[in-house]
Amino acid sequence: MTFQVLAKAERSRVLLLPQSGNNTLFEGYLRLKDMPQGPRVFKFLVKKESQAERYLPPEEALRMLRKAKAIHLARGDPEMEKKLIKLLESYQLGYRFVSICNHCLGQSRVTFVGREAIAYKGTWICENCAAEELLREANFRHLGRAAKAHLAGILKARRSLDDVVGLLSLQRLEPELTLFDTIQASREEPTLTLESVDLPESLKELLQKRLTCLLPVQSRSVQSGLLEGRNQLIVSATATGKSLIGEMAGIKRLLEGKGKLLFLVPLVALANQ
């Protein structure tokens, strides 16, 4: 197993994650002190899983860094990073900058990311962490399987979890992302003009204030004999103009003195209208 160390400058200390292969051996923290000859290790704190934290002699940290096959630096606090680099250089320790998943780092795991990295909250995270995070968000919003798959597709193409999560919270709506499917518009039916419909003039005048053409379902009804006294059963979506169909038939007969109009509706609100 290759032994290597990941180092990241934090605001007041340096995080060290010694790795054996893919395993993190422990979390170490260096506190640096400015000395006349440059920054030096002042304290070395070690946290091992299920063990109490303890301080080791500062030389132990240097011994560990010397032993490492590679020292990887993840971008961190710029000021502390400068000190860390000075320290490494003064001990002639080679290092190289790497990009790692910030979420994995939060769990003391080191996952290198390259071009497949996903942008999230100003840092980069790995594809696994991004998928987990997205799933959490999607479950929180009770999304179904198709929606989840769609979002995963957007994430893959965009490589930005911010964009996808923004989409969910309605903060970042882009037609390019929100477009889920395209369906053909139904064939547009030519509709009758109000003028051409056989209605009493007084009713026509009233209607002319609101419309010049009938809606498709109204036109169909008229063409199927609505105004010639044919019985019809009309099923049509809300707000497609059913009420006027009944009114045209009933009011016409009423005005022509051919009977009475009984208009039944299932809701009080509709009756009030």
List contacts with Zn ion (CB under 5 A).
101, 103-104, 111, 126, 129
CB atoms within 10 A of CB 50: 4
**Of residues 104 and 222, the one with the C-beta less far from Zn ion:** 104
Count of CA atoms in the C-beta half-sphere (13 A) of 242:
12
**Residue 101 C-beta: closest distance to Zn ion, Å:** 3
**Residue 120 C-beta: closest distance to Zn ion, Å:** 10
Q: Determine contact, residues 217/242, Cβ cutoff 8 Å.
A: yes
Give me 17's structure tokens: 């994650």
What b-and-e string marks burial along 6-41, b requiring 16 or more CB atoms within 10 Å of the CB? bbbbeeebbbbbbbeeeebbebbbbebeeeeeebbb
CA distance linking residue 108 with residue 22, whole number of Å: 11
**Residue 129 C-beta: closest distance to Zn ion, Å:** 3
Local structure of 242: helix, strand or coil: helix
**Residue 10 C-beta: closest distance to Zn ion, Å:** 19
**Residue 130 C-beta: closest distance to Zn ion, Å:** 8
**Of residues 65 and 129, the one with the C-beta less far from Zn ion:** 129
**Of residues 103 and 252, the one with the C-beta less far from Zn ion:** 103
**Residue 100 C-beta: closest distance to Zn ion, Å:** 8
**Residue 165 C-beta: closest distance to Zn ion, Å:** 16
**Of residues 65 and 117, the one with the C-beta less far from Zn ion:** 117
Give the angle 162-166-170 at the CA atoms, nearest 5°: 175
**Of residues 128 and 224, the one with the C-beta less far from Zn ion:** 128
Q: What are phi and psi of 143, to 5 degrees?
A: -80, 150
Local structure of 86: helix, strand or coil: helix
Longest alpha-carbon distance in the chain: 111
CA distance linking residue 242 with residue 124, whole number of Å: 56
With tokens 């597709």, the residue in question is 153
